Amino acid sequence: KKIIIATSNPNKAKEFRRIFDETEIELKTLLDLTDVPEIRETGESFKENAQIKAHTVMEKYKLPTIADDSGLEVDALFGQPGIYSARYAGDHNDAANNAKLLAELGGVPEEKRTARFVTTLVFANPNNDEDLVVEGEVKGQIANFPQGNNGFGYDPLFYLPDLKKTMAELTLDQKNEISHRGRAIRKLENEWPSWINW
């Protein structure tokens, strides 16, 4: 059985693969497919954008499709960068995004640097009328400088006080255990087998 993960982000793909590894499902991402349709993320929420990605891809390939729309919400920035996380500093460039985030938070003291990562997963299937939608989040704070080489995006700046590490200092498995995406994927794993009409 095949499921498409409607992402072109290789790091997201890795996190999904690790978790679906123990099943007999064959995962394909947009990096494995040809003729990928243009996806216009014009929604106003993580859920709307995930729905757009899931449905654009499902319509094209007629296969069950999961999309992930995710981002970082920083309290001192009133929830920014939010749905604009990928392109916060212009083009999708993680280093520039992190530099911009640090600049925006210049002078903000530690106790006010609270933030959360959030993800919404939308599972769309040709034989189901309604999508399956789940969310996951993890709370942390924005560090004063980047630390760690694992993960992607804002991981080097996302500090987890309980672990005394940034997300980029965790292994892939450790990240999946506590991350917004790991949590959302586990909810999806519990719910999709009884939802899907193959």
- Minimum CB separation from ligand ITT for residue 194, in Å? 26
**Does 183 engage in binding with ligand ITT (CB under 6 A)?**
no
Output the CA torsion 153→172→27→137 (10° steps). -60
Taking every pair of Cα atoms in the chain, the longest distance, rounded to a whole number of angstroms, is 54
Q: Which amino acid is at 79?
A: G
Residue 69: active-site member: yes
Comparison of 68 and 169: residue with beta carbon closer to ligand ITT:
68
Does position 144 interact with ligand ITT (CB under 6 A)? The reply is no
Peptide bond into 81 cis (omega under 30): yes
SS3 42: coil
By CB under 6 A, residue 70 contacts ligand ITT: yes
**Part in contact with ligand ITT (CB under 6 A); list of ranges 1-9, 100-108, 139-147, 186-194:** 1-9
Name the residue nearer to ligand ITT (CB basis): 115 or 132. Answer: 115
29 forms part of the interface with ligand ITT (CB under 6 A) = no
- Kindly state whether residue 113 participates in binding ligand ITT, applying the rule CB under 6 A: no
| E-only strand ranges, 125-195 | 132-142, 158-160, 165-166
Question: 81 in helix, strand or coil?
Answer: strand
Q: Are the C-beta atoms of residues 184 and 191 closer than 8 Å to each other?
A: no
Residues in contact with ligand ITT, counted by CB under 6 A, come to a total of 20
Residues in the site for ligand ITT, rule: CB under 6 A? Answer: 7-9, 12, 68-72, 85-86, 97, 117, 151-155, 179, 181
